[in-house]
A and B are shown apart, each in its own frame.
Chain A
Amino acid sequence: MSKQTSRAGDRIFSTTALMAGVLILVVLFSVAVFLLIQALPAFFADPSEITGGEGFWSYIWPIIVGTVIAAAIALILATPVALGVALFISHYAPRRLSQGLGYVIDLLAAIPSVIYGVWGITFLAVQLEPMYEWLAEYAGWIPIFAGPASATGKTMLTAGIVLAVMILPIITSISREIFLQTPKLHEEAALALGATRWEMIRMTVIPFGRPGVISAVMLGLGRALGETMAVALVLSTGPLILSLIQTGNSTIAAEIALNYPEAYGLRLAELIAAGLLLFIITLAVNMVARWVITRNKDFSGANA
């Protein structure tokens, strides 16, 4: 292989890589511009013509909060479990078991969201309904469990649980890969100092993996924010309410999925404006996550 050809190869590859990078930016930018142009009528329309009759912001506000609630439930439920599974696979399980388990967890990510939705509506909601009755009766004094509980079980909490199962594999598999990359020397040093296995994990694996775990959680959050089909099927939508076990609340993605097929004119603009806001929220979440990661990097030991 001569020097000449390898340089040509380099050039071709760097150009291709550059093009790929630019293409992503162009696509993202075009999406933003498209959404903005299509959404404009909704921002400037007469408030009384907007769904709900009180202007765009009072229409969109409850479903933005709903979107955040659904994603928050999913993260709160999924993150501890995912980290536990990841640590078990990377540091506790016997090798053969860990491989099988990792494979099964990854498989969860391959299930289409509509399947999760159907599972949620036909199985999970029905099973959870008695639990909601119980919560309403004995924990009803906590505002988020205020009764009367939904008789169908199609509530925000059910939707959040389905979302949690859906984002579990994303957080698990990224965290697992990160934990496995902890420098062996760190781990051995900790053990040599007399640390137990849990102390070793606390001293070396977790600090090393923190930025990676944060990005894993953010990826999961991205999926939870944007998930459409499962929520649209599972959630019995309605106005914003605090109780998670009553009928009510909605998310942006579900609102779009449920109303888009029959929407035209101003209604279409409203839905696209809702999409634009979801786009901005997701972007903001990702930027915050990046910022958190770069801030944490200095203390993680990853640069040691």
Chain B
Amino acid sequence: MIELADVTFRYPGAERPALAGVTLSLAPGEHVAVVGANGSGKSTLALLCDGMLLPEGGSVHVDGMDTRDAATAFEVRSRVGLVLQDPDDQIVGAVVEEDAAFGPENLGVPREELRARVDEALAAVGLAGLERREPHLLSEGQKQRLAIAGALAMRPAYLVLDEPAAMLDPRGREDVGAILGRLASGGTGILRVTHDLAEAAAARRVVALCDGSVAFDGLPADLLADALLMDRVGVAPPPLAALAEGLRLRGVDVRADAFTPAALLEALWR
């Protein structure tokens, strides 16, 4: 379990804290989306989960280990995989496979297993065949996939991703959504930062941050049904939700959790 208890964090020199009084937990196998406007504290939250940033007030525990405890810092970071927003901040290898191997190699994973893990991680993100490609020759979307592969190859218990699909095309976004769904079903705890509510709806639980505090923590359908809250949090309802709302206003019986074109069509011709 990753547990944030009353966490406050302030960047050096900043007037306002980036996070204030945030309490949140992520269990193994849980899939949580964190949404909010730019500057709401989403990325800060992600960086606090593996001890990359340490809380000023309150505490962060990973499976009972305090992230401030230097003695367990290595263990904490091998359990929490972190995928940063900008893949250029985290790609270090001279070629793709070397980069994906960097994490597990540092965990001391033996050579044969390393090969298997790297192949599996690259296949999972659709980069198989590009093992010897230099990262700077990859497109932005491919780099984003490589950053995810690097974290996957460490086989973390929890995976924290900061906008892992921001530069991906729609198919890439679907792929990432499917990968994360599979990992969650397999027992990995997933915390995914996004400001796309359509993506967030695929998670079982959504946390909305507003000015560094938790404004909502619950089911995606409940957030999508609250236009005032979405506006306050600074997230836009997905166009499909707006279409569903428009149909409801015109007397079509559309269920609150109809998030797909197929579900809307069914409602139309029921």
A and B: partners? no
